[in-house]
């Protein structure tokens, strides 16, 4: 894959494990993997650490709100995730280690608990320029935020149903020293951070048609302005969600803004 390529990603259940199929629509190349025993995927015994070949399958057969991964911090269902805060340039403070010298770029792999690394500095797309983004999430069918759900047996032609609701959330509060188990001090952006990226919606395929002509495309960074719905910026993550986990901030379910009358479904 190259920068700027448009990808179509299909994830579906099979008898032999979960299939992930990636098509690069810009180059015409493709690749796939089945998360199954035949390909060496294993389940690990938590008591002995021994591995057993295993076909990984979906936990649920519907994406109904509430069908979350039971062991995760996030209320995970059908997820599009940007995991940040695991890398920073060495600055000789306590959250650096472990670090490495290069050869191309020196860096540290410790959790960025003081939020002073590149994940939280104000240099994300949209904060100092308005013509690029690290990720644009749309639908191969045009309108509606991807992903699309299968309406039939899951063949390529059946992925035509956009999800009627969406849900913004973050677990950055889990890394905040100010966050208490009663929810006090669990804030976004975290205390000490100069910036925290948020999701925005392009409603007109803007940024010089980088939206590939789609009427609705989700981007991540610091985008706001005419033709952009920023969902309240960092407020989109909502307050700390105590019923689930004190370190999780959740804005709760909202209607897919790309679907007319989505909230009535």
Q: How far apart are CA 257 and CA 200, in angstroms?
A: 11
pLDDT tens for 101-118 read 888 888 998 889 999 888
pLDDT tens for 151-180 read 766 555 578 888 888 889 999 998 998 999
Going by C-alpha positions, the residue among 77, 80, 108, 82 that lies closest to residue 94 is 108
Q: How far apart are CA 98 and CA 92, in angstroms?
A: 11
Q: What is the mean pLDDT of each run of 10 residues along the chain (265 residues)?
A: 87 94 95 97 95 94 85 84 87 89 86 88 73 74 73 65 88 91 91 91 58 69 85 93 87 85 46
Q: How far apart are CA 136 and CA 167, in angstroms?
A: 17
Angle at 218 between CA 192 and CA 236, to 5 degrees: 40
Q: How far apart are CA 135 and CA 141, in angstroms?
A: 18
pTM of the prediction?
0.85
Question: In sequence order, which ranges of 82-225 are alpha helices (DSSP H)?
Answer: 206-209
Going by C-alpha positions, the residue among 164, 153, 169 that lies closest to residue 68 is 169
Rounded (10°) CA dihedral 63, 68, 70, 76: 120
């Amino acid at each position: 894959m190259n920068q700027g390529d448009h990808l179509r990603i299909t994830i579906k259940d099979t008898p032999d494990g979960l299939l992930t199929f990636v098509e690069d629509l810009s180059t015409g190349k493709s690749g796939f993997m089945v998360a199954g025993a035949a390909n060496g995927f294993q389940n690990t015994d938590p008591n002995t650490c021994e591995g057993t070949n295993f076909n990984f399958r979906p936990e649920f057969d519907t994406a109904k709100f509430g069908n979350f991964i039971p062991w995760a911090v996030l209320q995970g269902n059908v997820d599009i995730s940007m995991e940040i805060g695991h890398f920073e340039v060495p600055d000789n403070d306590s959250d650096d280690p472990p670090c490495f010298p290069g050869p191309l770029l020196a860096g540290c792999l410790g959790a960025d608990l003081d939020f002073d690394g590149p994940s939280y500095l104000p240099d994300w797309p949209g904060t100092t320029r308005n013509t690029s983004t690290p990720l644009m999430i749309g639908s191969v069918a045009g309108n509606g935020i991807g992903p699309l759900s299968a309406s039939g047996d899951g063949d390529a032609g059946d992925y035509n149903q956009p999800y009627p609701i969406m849900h913004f959330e973050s677990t950055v509060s889990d890394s905040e020293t100010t966050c208490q188990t009663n929810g006090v001090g669990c804030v976004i952006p975290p205390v000490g951070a100069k910036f925290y990226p948020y999701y925005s919606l392009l409603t007109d395929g803007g940024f010089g048609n980088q939206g590939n002509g789609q009427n609705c495309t989700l981007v991540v960074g610091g985008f706001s302005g005419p033709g952009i719905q920023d969902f309240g910026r960092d407020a989109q993550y909502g307050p700390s969600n105590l019923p689930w986990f004190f370190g999780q901030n959740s804005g709760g379910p909202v209607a897919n803004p790309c679907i007319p009358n989505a909230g009535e479904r």
